[in-house]
């Protein structure tokens, strides 16, 4: 199958490309290095230096014998994206090509405008390139669990039947997010749902939680094939921040009360989920929404897990509660459904002590690269 | 009160400016003539030629003694909009500055991209100009009833309490629209709701139905102060199309079965509603949503009303059902709430025979300008 991966240089895009290519899919990746550009501009460089996308593809081909096609360009440029679709004629497109940082999107007007324009224009362009060049192509869009926020009712998988004053209808599950970045993903969903209805497109929206992990069978072929690892306040997740703090001998900084619960998943499971979605395209006119995570826990619980894994390696790990730079509920109800991907065949890899210990050991190899100043929150909202 | 009107050259923007200025508000209007530009490009010129915005302000000042300040510029240019806010320091801003045509937004990629970019960037810029220059300013945003679509449950005013599996929460009422234009207004709402929560902005979202009417006390001071009147397939409403067809001796073209029900209102009531909203600002952090229409009827019922009014003037009016160029439900449940504006003091002007007859008589004065070719639908979805 011809699979086009937009945002193929990203933390998830690159491992997805290798995973699918290793399974003999015909894979093309597209990226304009926006994340790398923002990382340099904001002093948020990754812990481990990654070769550029074309070099990565060459290294991967040498290691695996499998070729990944590369196109460097900007998905907000419709003429460019249209030419990619016309040339490659994808049967599935995996759309990761978005500015993914919540703090960056909050930083100021320029960053807000870039995030809104980049994310929405890219999604519009993908929808139009599909309509024009590959109307039967299955779009696998990466959404985020953050679109739902933390409502006081159970979160369903994308849709909800509402009974109101004795009548019923089915709607997109209500969404309200905690950052502009997450809000652009809500706008993506609204836009996609419009074109799904109007042009009978095939779409799967994967509502993903925070992903952790550095190891995949393909990434492990060569150190230079490692996924990006950001631990800074702009691109780093809370998992990465805690792991780096543990290695650096700094206290784990829990924002506020630490009762914020999220659904997490292992990078290996993201690869499985994307593959399961690609392997089971939706019908024309169907927007399938799947909640993509394997287990829920609070930030306090995560800190305890990292502390325990650190201790097993002889690290002395302390936990410190700091003022929350974000406007978010620090204690809340959270019960999101997530059976759809399990029904498709997902076999979860949970965050046990050995997984965290392996990540800590990997990070210890790059200890000299750690710049602890990058971790402190520079953006408040 | 200093009131800034964005999109002040429009069908509603200009009468709103005159209405508020006549009541001694300090009014500034901003426009970049986008609608006039699109009208020329698509051969959709209005029936009655309107002077430009600066000329209109001069004519209005001569007729009423009241001054309306004008700024010609593009609200998608943040430096421009920010300078307008910095200079004028509005206490209320009425935001009409959007590409308002559903068929135009569906026409092709270029039009879709323009509509999405224009409408979303303008809304983002307004939200940021308020945050930077006038954080206490009350934003009165024109939404549309079209955001809700035609769900099978009663439509509430913007919000709904959902009870699900024994728990409850309050959400934005679910929205799914029938055109890209209407979808951009949904995206506006999501974007506004995010910044209302994050920056404690004051916002009223007026979910308006189709507006009809050519007469207001201020517009009637001078023929050259008339509102824009579009009857073409791009900017014209179904009311205007029927009225012009009646005058031209052409059959009224009902799309499909004609069971499409919408909530309509008289231009006089739009002016009242906007004024009522401006006069009662919301609290910081509050997004008030009001459904802005006065009566609901089907397209078939509207055709009957126009036929009857035409007969009273001696016009022979026929009704013809034609293939629907739009993807929309032609028979559906529709029961939207609309008590909020009545509670604020709205005194409705209903669409009775005399109102339609007066519009027909006005249009008859411009009969020679009618180009019936402009009415046929050129865009299908």
Give catalytic status of residue A283 as yes or no.
no
Size of interface A-B (CB pairs under 8 A): 114
Give catalytic status of residue B69 as yes or no.
no
Check CB contact of B380 with chain A, cutoff 8 Å.
no
Would the CB atoms of B327 and A180 count as touching at under 8 Å? no
Mean pLDDT, residues A82-93: 98
The pLDDT assigned to B55 comes to 98
8 A C-beta contact, residue B8 and residue B15: no
How many CA atoms within 13 Å lie on the side-chain side of B132?
17
pLDDT digit string, tens, across residues A341-362: 999 999 999 999 999 999 999 9
The pLDDT assigned to B251 comes to 98
Contacts of B168 in chain A (CB under 8 A): 152-153
Closest to B189 measured CA to CA, from B127, B137, B143: B143
Count of domains in chain B? 1
Would the CB atoms of B167 and A333 count as touching at under 8 Å? yes
The pLDDT assigned to B333 comes to 98
The pLDDT assigned to A62 comes to 98
The pLDDT assigned to A37 comes to 98
Q: Enter the DSSP assignment of B252.
A: E
Q: How far apart are CA B230 and CA B35, in angstroms?
A: 11
Would the CB atoms of B160 and A165 count as touching at under 8 Å? no
DSSP string, B275-340: HHHHHSPPPTTEEEEEEE-SEEEEHHHHHHHHHHHHHHTT----EEEE--SS---SS----B---H
For residue A52, the domain's CATH number is 3.40.50.720
Q: How far apart are CA A89 and CA A137, in angstroms?
A: 8
Contacts of B154 in chain A (CB under 8 A): 164-165, 167
Q: How far apart are CA B227 and CA B9, in angstroms?
A: 9
CA angle B379, B30, B224 (to 5 degrees): 75
Closest to B156 measured CA to CA, from B295, B42, B34, B290: B290
- Burial category of A51 from C-beta neighbours within 10 Å (exposed 0-12, middle 13-18, buried 19 and up): middle
Q: Which domain holds residue B121?
A: 2-374
The pLDDT assigned to A350 comes to 98
The pLDDT assigned to A134 comes to 98
Contacts of B190 in chain A (CB under 8 A): 175-176, 183, 186-187, 190
Contacts of B164 in chain A (CB under 8 A): 153-154, 160
The pTM assigned to this predicted structure is 0.98
Would the CB atoms of A120 and B78 count as touching at under 8 Å? no
8 A C-beta contact, residue B143 and residue B188: yes
| A122: closest chain B residue by CA | B113
Beta bridge partners of B143: B207
Closest to A307 measured CA to CA, from A246, A355, A250: A246
Contacts of A146 in chain B (CB under 8 A): none
Would the CB atoms of A113 and B120 count as touching at under 8 Å? no
Would the CB atoms of A152 and B167 count as touching at under 8 Å? yes
Contacts of B191 in chain A (CB under 8 A): 116, 183, 187
Phi first, then psi, for residue A230 (nearest 5°) are: -100, 135
Check CB contact of B376 with chain A, cutoff 8 Å.
no
Give catalytic status of residue A185 as yes or no.
yes
Would the CB atoms of A180 and B194 count as touching at under 8 Å? yes
Contacts of A172 in chain B (CB under 8 A): 174, 176
Q: Is residue A236 part of a domain?
A: yes
Check CB contact of B155 with chain A, cutoff 8 Å.
no
Which one is catalytic: B148, B185, B212, B216? B185
Work out the number of other CB atoms within 10 angstroms of the CB of residue A292.
29
Which one is catalytic: A185, A264, A294, A374? A185
The pLDDT assigned to B139 comes to 98
Q: Is residue A20 part of a domain?
A: yes
Would the CB atoms of B190 and A193 count as touching at under 8 Å? no
8 A C-beta contact, residue A85 and residue A129: yes
Q: How far apart are CA A33 and CA A1, in angstroms?
A: 26
Check CB contact of B154 with chain A, cutoff 8 Å.
yes
The pLDDT assigned to B252 comes to 98
Check CB contact of B175 with chain A, cutoff 8 Å.
yes
| Element containing residue B202 per DSSP (H, E) | strand B202-208
Total count of residues recorded for chain A = 381
Instruction: Give Cβ neighbours of residue A195 (< 8 Å, ≥ 6 apart).
Output: A127, A131, A201
Q: Is residue B380 part of a domain?
A: no
Among B169, B185, B326, B337, which would you mutate to test the A interface (most chain A Cβ atoms within 10 Å of its Cβ)?
A: B169
Q: Is residue B381 part of a domain?
A: no
Q: How far apart are CA B213 and CA B231, in angstroms?
A: 12
The pLDDT assigned to A82 comes to 98
Q: Enter the DSSP assignment of B171.
A: E
Contacts of B122 in chain A (CB under 8 A): none
Contacts of A106 in chain B (CB under 8 A): 198
Check CB contact of A168 with chain B, cutoff 8 Å.
yes
Interface of B with A in 34-93 (CB under 8 A): 78
| B327: closest chain A residue by CA | A198
Q: Is residue A55 part of a domain?
A: yes
Nearest-Cα distance to chain A for B111, in Å, is 12
Would the CB atoms of A194 and B183 count as touching at under 8 Å? yes
Q: Is residue A379 part of a domain?
A: no
Would the CB atoms of A128 and B117 count as touching at under 8 Å? no
Would the CB atoms of B194 and A183 count as touching at under 8 Å? yes
Check CB contact of A379 with chain B, cutoff 8 Å.
no
Q: How far apart are CA B360 and CA A327, in angstroms?
A: 55
Q: How far apart are CA B263 and CA B144, in angstroms?
A: 10
Alpha carbon separation from A82 to A31, A160, A196, A285, B203 (Å, rounded): 14, 35, 19, 22, 39
Q: Across the interface, which of A124, A160, A183 has its CB nearest the CB of B191?
A: A183
The pLDDT assigned to A23 comes to 97
Would the CB atoms of B175 and A190 count as touching at under 8 Å? yes
Which one is catalytic: B16, B115, B144, B253? B144
Would the CB atoms of B174 and A171 count as touching at under 8 Å? yes
- Burial category of A283 from C-beta neighbours within 10 Å (exposed 0-12, middle 13-18, buried 19 and up): exposed
SS in 3 state form for chain A? CEEEEECCCCCCHHHHHHHHHHCCCEEEEEECCHHHHHHHHCCCCCCCCCCCHHHHHHHHHHHHCCCEEEEECCCCCHHHHHHHHHHHCCCEEEECCCCCCHHHHHCCHHHHHHHHHHHHHHHHHHHHHHHHHCCCCEEEEEEEHHHCCCCCCCECCCEEEEEECCEEEEEECCCCCCCHHHHHHHHHHHHHHHHHHHHCCEEEEEEECCEECCCCCCHHHCHHHCCCCCCCCCCCCHHHHHHHHHHHCCCEEEECCCCCEEEEEEHHHHHHHHHHHHHCCCCCCEEEEEEECCEEEEHHHHHHHHHHHHHHCCCCCCEEEECCCCCCCCCCCCCECCCHHHHHCCCCCCCCHHHHHHHHHHHHCCHHHCCHHHCCCCCCC
Contacts of A186 in chain B (CB under 8 A): 190
Q: How far apart are CA B193 and CA B176, in angstroms?
A: 17
pLDDT along chain B (381 residues), means of 10: 98 98 98 98 95 98 98 98 98 98 98 98 98 98 98 98 98 97 98 98 98 98 97 97 98 98 98 98 98 98 98 98 96 98 98 98 97 94 91
Check CB contact of B366 with chain A, cutoff 8 Å.
no
Check CB contact of B116 with chain A, cutoff 8 Å.
yes
Would the CB atoms of B152 and A169 count as touching at under 8 Å? yes
Phi first, then psi, for residue B280 (nearest 5°) are: -130, 75
Q: How far apart are CA B13 and CA B16, in angstroms?
A: 5
Would the CB atoms of B176 and A176 count as touching at under 8 Å? no
Q: Is residue B379 part of a domain?
A: no
Q: Is residue B181 part of a domain?
A: yes
Mean pLDDT, residues A258-286: 98
The pLDDT assigned to A38 comes to 98
Nearest-Cα distance to chain A for B148, in Å, is 11
8 A C-beta contact, residue A29 and residue A57: yes
The pLDDT assigned to B293 comes to 98
């Amino acid at each position: 199958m011809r699979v086009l991966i937009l945002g193929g240089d990203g933390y998830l895009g690159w491992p997805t490309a290798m995973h699918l290519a290793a399974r003999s899919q015909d894979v093309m990746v597209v990226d304009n290095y926006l994340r790398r550009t923002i990382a340099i501009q904001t002093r948020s460089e990754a812990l481990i230096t990654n070769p550029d996308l074309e070099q990565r593809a060459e290294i991967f081909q040498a290691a695996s014998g499998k070729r990944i096609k590369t196109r460097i360009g900007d998905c907000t440029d419709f003429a460019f994206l249209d030419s990619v679709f016309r040339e490659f004629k994808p049967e599935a497109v995996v759309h990761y090509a978005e500015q993914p940082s919540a703090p960056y999107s909050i930083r100021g007007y320029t960053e807000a405008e870039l995030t809104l324009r980049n994310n929405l224009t890219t999604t519009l362009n993908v929808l139009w390139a599909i309509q024009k060049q590959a109307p039967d192509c299955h779009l696998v869009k990466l959404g985020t669990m953050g679109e739902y926020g933390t409502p006081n009712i159970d979160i369903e998988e994308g849709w909800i039947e509402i009974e109101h004053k004795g009548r019923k209808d089915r709607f997109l599950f209500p969404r309200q997010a905690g950052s502009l970045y997450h809000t652009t993903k809500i706008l993506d969903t609204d836009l996609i749902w419009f074109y799904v209805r109007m042009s009978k497109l095939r779409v799967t929206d994967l509502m993903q939680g925070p992903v952790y992990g550095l190891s995949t069978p393909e990434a492990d072929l060569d150190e230079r094939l490692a996924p990006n690892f950001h631990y800074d306040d702009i691109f780093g997740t809370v998992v990465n921040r805690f792991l780096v703090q543990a290695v650096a001998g700094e206290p784990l900084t829990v924002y506020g009360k630490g009762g914020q619960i999220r659904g997490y998943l292992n990078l290996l499971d993201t690869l499985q989920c994307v593959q399961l979605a690609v392997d089971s395209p939706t019908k024309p006119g169907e927007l399938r929404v799947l909640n993509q995570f394997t287990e829920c826990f609070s930030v306090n619980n995560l800190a305890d897990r990292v502390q325990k894994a650190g201790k097993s390696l002889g690290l002395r790990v302390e936990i410190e509660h700091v003022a929350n730079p974000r406007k978010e509920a620090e204690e809340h109800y959270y019960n999101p459904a997530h059976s759809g991907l399990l029904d498709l065949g997902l076999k979860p890899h949970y965050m046990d002590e050995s997984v965290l210990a392996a990540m800590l050991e990997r990070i210890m190899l790059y200890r000299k690269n750690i710049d602890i100043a990058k971790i402190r929150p520079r953006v408040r909202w």
